[in-house]
Amino acid sequence: MGDRVRLLFLGDIVGRSGRTLVIQQLPRLIDSLKLDFVAINAENAAGGFGITEDIALELFEAGADVLTLGNHAFDQRSVLPFLDQDPRIVRPANYPPGTPGRGTTVVAARNGARVLAINLMGRLFMDPLDDPFARLDHELDSCRLGEDVDAILVDFHAEATSEKQGIGALADGRASLVVGTHTHVPTADHRILPGGTAFQTDVGMCGDYDSVIGMDKGEPLNRFLTKLAKERMSPALGPAMMCGVVADLDPGTGLAIRVAPLRVGAGLESTIPGFPG
């Protein structure tokens, strides 16, 4: 596996604008940053609501190793059989038993590292699913970092920053990278926690930032002003930016050595990690 394992996690893809940028730029980033593993939250990839099999396959072809989802996981009903069939796509593990798909998966990285991806969803201001803390505790006890797998990635799809930071604290020293998704705005708190887990409260989105969390501004503003829905919300289609986080892991322990944000495109200040090759 060499002297490090390098992971990229990209935040929520919102609609065509974000999807197109990711598909265009990801192969170049894999090569230039020498990435071993790429995970992407794709729960808003299909017109802002869910994902389709065709879109998932496009993202895999572009270089994604794992796709994570969230509260829009099942918006596109046609994708339900695919969630059961392809082990590279995961929905929140704390959905009730019998829900289509899986909440965890182990996928081999380009350098042979065994990567466990865990997807969970918060409960504050969201659907009252099963306890994500208890489920994460169980998953981390069942598959141990540095013993059963070489790296563990946790995507916690949640609204509240306190809940996301709590998940980070629970996973510290037991997971390689814990990222928050769902709020679509990148936070500035990327860091390595005391136990060695890389963490960012929210990695942001891949989409048009001249928007309201990726959606065309008209309908959200109408709803704020009138409290009435006039039409279905739709993704903004202007120039996109892809936001994510890159982490280098110690191949022996699976814990983080370095972590830095990645922002490529238009809308926010761009930054690419200057990690050694």
What confidence tens digit (pLDDT) does each residue in 13-70 have? Answer: 999 999 999 999 999 999 999 999 999 999 999 999 999 999 999 999 999 999 999 9
Predicted confidence (pLDDT) at residue 2 exceeds the cutoff of 90? no
What is the model's pTM? 0.96
Average pLDDT in the chain: 96
pLDDT in the model for residue 131: 97
In this structure, what DSSP letter does residue 276 have? Answer: -
pLDDT in the model for residue 241: 97
Integer CA distances (angstroms), 45 to 19, 164, 167, 252, 271, in order: 6, 22, 25, 35, 23
* Mean pLDDT value across residues 240-254: 97
Q: Which of 72, 182, 184, 190 is catalytic?
A: 72
What confidence tens digit (pLDDT) does each residue in 134-150 have? Answer: 999 999 999 999 999 99
Own/partner pairs, 260-264, CB within 8 angstroms, 24+ separation: 260/190, 261/186, 261/190, 261/200, 261/203, 262/8, 262/10, 262/29, 263/186, 263/204, 264/21, 264/25, 264/29
Structural domains in the chain, sorted by start: 5-208+239-265 (3.60.21.10)
* Residue 72 known to be catalytic: yes
pLDDT tier for residue 277 given thresholds of 50, 70 and 90: confident
pLDDT in the model for residue 4: 94
What confidence tens digit (pLDDT) does each residue in 68-83 have? Answer: 999 999 999 999 999 9
